[in-house]
A and B are shown apart, each in its own frame.
Chain A
């Protein structure tokens, strides 16, 4: 089965799968010794690594890039010039409160569908789409149900696995398990994690804390809403659009109060006592939220700025997390 890679949470896996292709939301890893992007100064490390990952990928049949950030939008130009892989740039509107913005997103899904058909996919019937959506929804629900029963690292890796491989391979059961307790409850908020960054969960746990809210783009925050069963049956594509475009909160949206509403609810219900703010240097979208979040949250916030040059978490970051938790004891 042909694989379509992407990294943005606003690309619905269900839509790709319904076309008979394999969606894979990738997490870029180490850049290797050479970079496909000429400059490094000013370039978001995540974007740089994504471009490298796409260019070096030999398994994928296509790549979907979105416009949620300017550097990713421009990275599309680099991908188009540096590799042969068929690429699609999907407009994801920044505004979200107007009917026109939702319609634009829906139109873009349809256009994505045409791209997928050109790659060998088959345009799905509503019924076929609904079936795939239901399967994904069930799998997603089972992933989310493991929260609290797995270590925070295992839980976030499970989400990443679900994003990468879709519904397959999710066999975790929680019947026999006791929920994890203990540790100072923390949230991680920010952009996406790189593959090597999962170590942060263990660093937190080894320092006496526990990530109870993974609000990184690659975590729970980047998962779409539960599908409404009636709308799924009646108008699956519109329901898909609502669950993704209408529900995933993010800093890039204008205005972005949806993100703060979501955080308010989740931080409170999980009794979070501190926030690790995860951002890449040169990521303006998240960087600009740091100060506001500090003022808004009424919780201690640890700013972790990631250069992406390291193979894994730096000693400096580890020590800062350790100190942060010591303060919170």
Chain B
């Protein structure tokens, strides 16, 4: 069996799985050959290329069995919270309770990609007046109506205010269809006025103290709702313990990102890194297992780095990627074109920063919520991107627009200007729909142009 790091197809993975199994592979209960997920309708999996490590096998199986975990949780009598939009805050609270599981229905935005539009979710959204002029997250509406992709949560919690209009509008539509939602306000993060008390947020942003206090009061409303749902107190002790656990996940992710993005040879492909980062926002419905999955990935990556081995060549262009892609295959495409990911801002950097443990927990969470790159100005976000570019040594920035998303209309211009002026690195914007097959040549051409530019600049 060839154990050199590399990328393989789903078919190759299933052959490899058999070899591993015969060689004594030990897996968690959700393990198994990846190919079985195609039977669930996840047809896009057939077109992706995967990292060939056992750690990545576990990562993929963990991701693709989340729906089962949610159904099991319900069968065990646990309460399910659908947290929407905040990307990383409310789940920390929910998982501090031992009988509550939280997940993001927003994640349904990948279903049209993974099922190659066969699930009919976008058509359902169309029929409800939410057409293709909205972000692909409209698939969430279809998932609620069909009830076929996740159990309907016992409680929905959604942040609004400084959020994208698409999601706010779609959530309101959902509310209008009879799904009650607890709305909580996240204000636009602003600079403190002169002489106004200010606090430093995780990740380095600054905010007025009174904004932190406001968000804290909003999160207290959420806490009360969660307590009512769980039938138990969510006191500061439990919340602090929940924060510590969340930080464990975040520290592992920070290490994984640091080692992977700065390695001379890319030790883990872009796609697996994207999925690993996604674990931070709600732990894929199992916090402890998330930690185990990440530990195994880090071990694999470290082993590869120490051996000087990786999945791509050593002259790949180091790309900083902004915004998640609606079509996962585009991460493969970047690598096909000669690039690798060295830095990301997938809309939820605040879910990767550690939460202050020395503060009262509600205040710590409020600070974290306000550190969301999307609730402040695009200039702030660009500054953070610049800081990470310096940290990871990225050579170019790729801004991946999400079709129809309200924030994508104007932010790219600002981010591009700031990055170019601060660091003089090339910036390119692309737009990625849920299935890119028809525009793959165009996308490829644009990515190749960026990568060629990077390589030309190295010669100077």
Chain A residues near B (Cβ < 8 Å): 37-39, 41-44, 47, 67, 69-71, 73-78, 80-81, 89, 91, 93-95, 98, 100-101, 104, 107, 111, 114, 252, 254-256, 281-285, 287-292, 294
Contacts and interface: CB of A to CB of B under 8 A. Distances in A.
A255 B183 contact: yes
Contacts of A93: 161, 185, 187
Contact of A39 (B165, B169, B218, B413): B413
A104 B187 contact: yes
A95 B169 contact: no
Interface centre among A288, A292, A294 (most CB of B within 10 A): A288
Contacts of B94: none
A43 B168 contact: no
A74 B412 CA distance: 11
B129 A290 contact: yes
A70 B413 CA distance: 15
A77 B172 contact: no
A189 B80 CA distance: 38
A77 B221 contact: no
Q: Ordered nearest first, which 8 A-B pairs have the shortest CB separation?
A: A291-B129, A288-B169, A42-B409, A284-B165, A70-B406, A94-B160, A74-B410, A70-B165
B359 to A, nearest CB: 20
Interface of B: 128-130, 133-134, 158, 160-166, 168-173, 175-176, 181, 183-185, 187-188, 190, 193, 210, 214, 217-218, 221, 377-379, 401, 404-414, 417
A94 B214 CA distance: 14
A108 to B, nearest CB: 9
Contacts of B158: 254
Given A70-B163, A70-B407, A288 B130 contact: yes
B161 A69 contact: no
Given A70-B165, A74-B410, A288 B379 contact: no
A39 B183 contact: no
Nearest to B406: A70
Contacts of B404: 42, 282, 284
B380 to A, nearest CB: 9
Contacts of A282: 133, 404, 406, 409
Contact of B413 (A38, A71, A111, A289): A38
Given A42-B404, A288-B173, 10 more contacts: A44-B409, A73-B162, A78-B414, A91-B188, A95-B160, A100-B214, A287-B169, A288-B170, A290-B129, A292-B176
Given A81-B417, A94-B160, A94-B183, A43 B188 contact: no
Contact of A285 (B165, B188, B210, B378): B165
A70 B160 contact: no
Contact of B190 (A38, A69, A91): A91
Given A73-B188, A94-B161, A81 B414 contact: yes
A39 B404 CA distance: 13
13 contacts: A39-B409, A39-B412, A47-B410, A74-B377, A74-B406, A95-B183, A100-B185, A254-B181, A284-B406, A289-B169, A289-B172, A291-B128, A292-B176
Contacts of B171: 254
Contact of A252 (B168, B173, B193, B221): B168
Contacts of B411: 74, 77
Nearest to B183: A254
